[in-house]
């Protein structure tokens, strides 16, 4: 695809099969405490898991 | 659903439901905008007209792009349907485990910051410090309610937690003692204004704290405007050298230097860059949380400048990263490949369910921003969560629970946003804090642009 570059990302649909362990950091325990989102949390079990 | 936008010379297309990110040229960008609503032949005709002056764009080129888009759609990287709604309610409703506590070890403070959402640490109540007995019971409560969860998070918060430092150390010691027998791993964090940092605090925190959050608003004039001691003098000169020593001794362990910006410093990028120039490279800067009629509240007319500041910050980060002087900004830390799974993205922030705040007296609240509001008292660390009706409300509060989020491309990045902000803005935890949403959307656009810039290694876009 010469006009489209697809950036490597985690496949969210596939993560429905392997995710949900809940071990990742709670959003508000990090830096913000007032305006958090979830996108900047890392997956605790990422290694060895399907993207 | 897709979201497409142009920023810093990049044409970016997000496929919301798969999480895919595409960087495309102008022709593909225009075709994608028409793809779901316009017949193929019409797209070809429109593009031939629009790009008539571009010799290399002909019918064959346009068809090639259309074929590429069909392939992306087939492989569920573009125009992917939303299949998560039922999971959002099922998943959170099933979860009964608690894995994180915000321990309010000190409802008192040694600074008198006018903008403090915690009312100078008192949370609109009496000054108090948590006893070790309450802290110990809080950890026991956490362990007992954490099910098979291994990683348990405990944040020492206030007020100013270093004003109750001995109890903090005792609680950490107790946690380390019980974690092996229960096969848990406590991750302690500390949020401090820095006033009482000394060598002993630095050594203990660097040994025991998974993360430390150090409060600094940026430039001296900005910091000292709000962050004053009780005699009215600014705290910048007192805390900056302590923070620098703390961070230097911290090695590769996590920390954030975290600031708050207000209507008074809508040029907040200068404050972030000031932090970076002081030698800090893990940074966060948050919009102030306050009543809309407070004189320092962010205003609607501030938004264009704030958007510009977020863009400027992203561009500066790309430049500094290239020159080897990079720093991280909390809200731009998106790991596209190792980010959260779909369950995390749809189930909300965890307040009132997996995450609770504990007052100095052992009372439980959905999160630190609800502390002091008796309507949101959930129980205590001895009896556990007794207000199960309130708990159920929070369980059903997710990315799909808010009507305003249904058409929003960013709902899987924010998961519906902050329940406390929503409550304070609308009176309902299922409302939306529109101003916060506007800033969040811009931050996510910038964060992804930075990632696209890194991935494409385009050296011309920021010049």
Show Cβ contacts of residue B462 under 8 Å, excluding neighbours closer than 6 positions: B8, B9, B315, B318, B319, B453
CB proximity A17 to B under 8 Å: no
pLDDT in tens for each of the 51 residues of chain A? Answer: 899 999 999 999 889 888 888 888 888 877 777 777 787 788 987 744 443
- Can you tell me the distance from the alpha carbon of A25 to that of A10, in angstroms, rounded to the nearest whole number? 18
Which chain A residues are Cβ-neighbours of B344 within 8 angstroms? 19, 24, 38, 41, 43
Q: Average the pLDDT over B120-128 and give the result.
A: 88
Show Cβ contacts of residue B439 under 8 Å, excluding neighbours closer than 6 positions: A35, B287, B303, B306, B310
Q: Which of B9, B38, B41, B14 is nearest to B26 (CA)?
A: B9
B100/A18 touch (CB, cutoff 8 Å), yes or no: no
Which chain B residues are Cβ-neighbours of A17 within 8 angstroms? none
pLDDT at B11 over 80: yes
pLDDT at B219 over 90: yes
The reported pLDDT for the residue numbered B162 is 98
Which chain B residues are Cβ-neighbours of A50 within 8 angstroms? none
pLDDT per residue over B435-456, tens digit each? 999 999 999 999 999 999 999 8
Closest CB to A43 among B340, B412, B440 = B340
pLDDT per residue over B223-271, tens digit each? 999 999 999 999 999 999 999 999 999 999 999 999 999 999 999 999 9
Q: In what order do the strands lie in the sheet with A4-7?
A: A4-7, B20-24, B10-15, B2-7
pLDDT at B137 over 80: yes
Query: Most A CBs within 10 Å: which of B272, B344, B452, as the mutation test of the A interface?
Result: B344
* Mean pLDDT, rounded, of chain B: 94
Show Cβ contacts of residue A21 under 8 Å, excluding neighbours closer than 6 positions: A44, A45
Closest CB to B336 among A9, A18, A31 = A9
pLDDT at B7 over 60: yes
B341/A1 touch (CB, cutoff 8 Å), yes or no: no
pLDDT at B87 over 80: no
pLDDT band per the 50, 70, 90 thresholds, residue B92? low
Cα-trace Rg, chain B:
24
Closest CB to A31 among B22, B284, B415 = B284
Q: CB contacts < 8 Å between A and B, how many? A: 209
pLDDT at B281 over 80: yes
B441, closest residue in chain A (CA to CA): A37
Q: With 0-12 CB in 10 A as exposed, 13-18 as middle and 19+ as buried, what is B199?
A: exposed
Query: Crossing angle, helix B26-35 and helix B40-50, to 10 degrees?
Result: 150
CB proximity A16 to B under 8 Å: yes
Which chain A residues are Cβ-neighbours of B335 within 8 angstroms? 40, 42
Task: Provide, rounded to the nearest whole percent, the portion of chain B with pLDDT above 70.
Answer: 97
- Can you tell me the distance from the alpha carbon of B134 to that of B157, in angstroms, rounded to the nearest whole number? 15
Q: Average the pLDDT over B218-227 and give the result.
A: 98
Lowest mean pLDDT among B42-51, B204-213, B234-243, B406-415: B406-415
CB proximity B210 to A under 8 Å: no
Is the separation of the CB atoms in A36 and A30 below 8 Å?
yes
pLDDT at B460 over 70: no
Residue B187, beta-bridge partner list: B153
Which chain A residues are Cβ-neighbours of B24 within 8 angstroms? 3-5
Residue B432, number of CB atoms within 10 A of its CB = 21
Closest CB to B333 among A2, A34, A40 = A40
The reported pLDDT for the residue numbered B91 is 64
pLDDT per residue over B299-336, tens digit each? 999 999 999 999 999 999 999 999 999 999 999 999 89
A29/B289 touch (CB, cutoff 8 Å), yes or no: no
pLDDT at B138 over 50: yes
B119-143 as b/e: b if 16+ CB within 10 A: ebbbbeeeebbbbbebbbbbbebbb
Is the separation of the CB atoms in B21 and B77 below 8 Å?
no
Is the separation of the CB atoms in B306 and B274 below 8 Å?
no
DSSP structure class, residue B30 = H
Q: Which of A40, A10, A29, A30 is nearest to B410 (CA)?
A: A40
pLDDT per residue over B141-176, tens digit each? 999 999 999 999 999 999 999 999 999 999 999 999
Closest CB to B22 among A7, A16, A22 = A7
Integer distance in angstroms from the first to the last C-alpha of chain A?
21
Report ipTM (2 d.p.): 0.90
pLDDT per residue over B350-386, tens digit each? 899 999 999 999 999 999 999 999 999 999 999 999 9
B40-60 as b/e: b if 16+ CB within 10 A: eeebbeebeeebeeeeebeee
């Amino acid at each position: 695809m010469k006009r489209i570059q697809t950036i490597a990302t985690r496949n969210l649909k596939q993560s429905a099969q392997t995710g949900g362990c809940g071990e990742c950091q709670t959003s508000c325990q990090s830096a913000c405490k007032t305006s958090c989102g979830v996108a900047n949390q890392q997956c605790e079990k990422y290694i060895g898991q399907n993207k | 659903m897709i979201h497409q936008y142009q920023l810093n010379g990049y044409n970016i297309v997000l496929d919301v439901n798969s999480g895919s990110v595409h960087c495309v040229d102008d022709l593909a960008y225009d075709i994608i905008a028409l793809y779901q609503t316009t017949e193929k032949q019409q797209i070809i005709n429109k593009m031939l007209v629009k790009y008539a002056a571009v010799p290399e764009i002909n019918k064959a080129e346009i068809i090639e792009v259309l074929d590429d888009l069909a392939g992306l759609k087939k492989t569920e990287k573009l125009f992917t349907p939303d299949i998560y709604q039922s999971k959002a309610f099922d998943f959170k409703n099933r979860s009964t485990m608690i894995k994180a506590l915000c321990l309010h070890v000190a409802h008192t403070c040694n600074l008198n910051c006018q903008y403090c959402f915690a009312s100078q640490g008192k949370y609109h109540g009496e000054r108090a410090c948590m006893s070790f007995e309450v802290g110990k019971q809080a950890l026991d409560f956490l362990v007992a309610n954490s099910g098979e969860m291994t990683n348990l998070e405990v944040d020492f918060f206030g007020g100013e937690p270093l004003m109750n430092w001995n109890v903090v150390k005792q609680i950490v010691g107790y946690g380390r003692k019980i974690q092996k027998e229960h096969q848990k791993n406590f991750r302690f964090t500390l949020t401090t204004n820095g006033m009482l940092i000394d060598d002993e605090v630095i050594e203990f925190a660097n040994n025991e704290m998974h993360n430390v959050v150090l409060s600094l608003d940026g430039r001296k004039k900005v910091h000292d405007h709000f962050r004053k001691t009780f005699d009215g003098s600014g705290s910048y000169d007192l805390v900056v050298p302590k923070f620098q020593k703390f961070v230097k001794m911290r090695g590769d362990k996590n920390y954030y230097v975290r600031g708050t910006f207000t209507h008074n410093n809508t040029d907040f990028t200068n404050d972030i860059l000031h932090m970076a120039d002081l030698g800090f490279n893990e940074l966060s800067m948050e919009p102030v949380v306050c009543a809309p009629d407070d004189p320092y509240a962010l205003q609607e007319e501030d938004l264009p400048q704030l958007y510009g500041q977020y863009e400027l910050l992203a561009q500066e980060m790309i430049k500094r990263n290239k020159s080897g002087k990079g720093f991280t900004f909390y809200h731009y830390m998106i790991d596209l490949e190792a980010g959260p799974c779909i369950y995390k993205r749809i189930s909300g922030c965890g307040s009132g369910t997996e995450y609770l705040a504990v007052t100095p007296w052992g009372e439980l609240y959905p999160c630190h921003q609800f502390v002091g509001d008796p309507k949101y008292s959930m129980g205590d660390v001895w009896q556990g969560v007794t207000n199960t009706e309130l708990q159920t409300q929070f369980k059903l509060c997710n990315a799909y629970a808010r009507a305003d989020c249904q058409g929003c491309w960013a709902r899987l990045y924010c998961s519906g946003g902050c329940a406390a902000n929503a409550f304070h803005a609308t009176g309902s935890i299922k409302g939306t804090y529109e101003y916060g949403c506007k800033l969040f959307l811009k931050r996510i656009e910038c964060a992804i642009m930075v990632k696209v810039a890194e991935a494409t290694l385009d050296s011309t876009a920021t010049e």
